[in-house]
């Protein structure tokens, strides 16, 4: 399993508008068929540059699904964000490969 992580710092003045917009954007990304789920999280650190920071983690079954997303869909979907929020947001992307997931074991006596 793979995670395509997008971290976004958004200007405080528009972050509420952005939060509304990002929900439909996440659904647009999921509807490409390249990802099986997504999580929207707020990063709980104060940035020196100000603003609010969020992370969207898209889960893909294969690395090829992420590559296909880049080839077919990413430019259009990223363009929509840039058109709407331009210089009010800063993003960076990270690809992660899940090695193993761990869960708590039962603590029965």
Domain 2-90 matching CATH 3.30.70.100: the answer reads yes
**Across the chain, where does the E strand assignment appear?**
2-10, 37-42, 52-60, 89-97
CB of 56 closer than 8 Å to CB of 21: no
CB of 50 closer than 8 Å to CB of 20: no
Q: How is the chain split into domains, by residue range?
A: 2-90
51 secondary structure, DSSP code: S
The band of 87, judged by pLDDT with boundaries at 50, 70 and 90, is confident
The pTM score is 0.90
pLDDT digits (tens, 9 = 90+) for 9-33: 999 999 899 999 999 999 999 999 9
Mean of the per-residue pLDDT values for the chain? Answer: 93
Q: Which residue has the tokens 């405080």?
A: 12
Say if residue 60's pLDDT is above 90.
Answer: yes
Q: In the prediction, which pLDDT does 82 show?
A: 87
Average pLDDT over residues 43-56: 89
């Amino acid at each position: 399993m793979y995670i395509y992580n997008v971290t976004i710092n958004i200007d405080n003045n528009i972050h509420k508008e952005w939060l509304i917009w990002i929900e439909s954007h996440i659904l647009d990304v999921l509807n490409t068929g390249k990802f099986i789920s997504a999580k929207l999280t707020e990063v709980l650190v104060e940035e020196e540059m100000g603003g609010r920071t969020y992370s969207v983690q898209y889960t893909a079954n294969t690395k090829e699904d992420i590559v296909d997303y880049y080839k077919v869909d990413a430019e259009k979907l990223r363009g929509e964000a840039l058109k709407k929020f331009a210089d009010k947001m800063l993003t960076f992307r990270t690809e992660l490969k899940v090695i193993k997931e761990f869960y708590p074991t039962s603590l029965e006596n």
